[in-house]
Amino acid sequence: MVKLVIVNNKDEEIGLEEKLKAHLGKGILHRAFTIFVFNPKSQLLIQKRSKNKFLWPLVWETTCSSHPLQKEDYIKAGEKRLRKELGVNCKLKLLTKFQYQARYKNIGSEKEVCALLVGKYNGKVKPNPKEVADWKWVDIKTLKDNLKKNPGEYAPWLKLALKYYEKRK
């Protein structure tokens, strides 16, 4: 059973909790990361989440998102997850962290201190079908237009990460 790192508002570890329990109801504040990988044309790689995901199945999100394990730093966890989900091997850097809470229907919530990691990649994408339903490279302007037109097709953390990215880039 995967255990998530439970944190306070300062991202200080205060315990561990089973992944499912951390996402039920209003959620329990835990560590997470989300990743933006860009190609040489400055297009962002986004993925459509697998139909098997507990929260937000079959919606578009960032390049990749997950949770660092206990004693695992955000960057190493992000690089490992990128390889697992998309077959992408690239160096990441920490751009910023943000905290949010988002409810998904009556099923559960994300309640996270989320690290935004950024990298560049110019190679093949080999998605893991257990994790990823679809993927594409997209221009930021096109993405922002689509977010306005079809907000329900996108994960809430993608919208937030994009705002934080644009403030920091």
- CATH number of the domain bearing residue 142: 3.90.79.10
Query: Tell me, what's the pLDDT at 169?
Result: 66
Question: How many structural domains does the chain have?
Answer: 1
pTM assigned to the model: 0.96
| 107-163 pLDDT tens trace | 999 999 999 999 999 999 999 999 999 999 999 999 999 999 999 999 999 999 999
Q: What are the helix (H) ranges across the chain?
A: 19-23, 74-86, 140-149, 156-168
Indicate the pLDDT class of residue 64, thresholds 50, 70 and 90.
Answer: very high
- For 109, the domain range is 3-168
Indicate the pLDDT class of residue 87, thresholds 50, 70 and 90.
Answer: very high
Alpha-carbon dihedral of residues 96, 98, 140, 48, nearest 10 degrees? 120
Q: Which of 51, 59, 55 is nearest to 109 (CA)?
A: 55
Residues 18, 112, 131, 166: which is the catalytic one?
A: 112
How is residue 99 written in tokens? Answer: 């905290």
Query: Tell me, what's the pLDDT at 50?
Result: 97
Indicate the pLDDT class of residue 77, thresholds 50, 70 and 90.
Answer: very high
Asked if 13 is an active-site residue, the reply is no
What is the DSSP secondary-structure string of 64-87? EEE-PPTT--HHHHHHHHHHHHH-
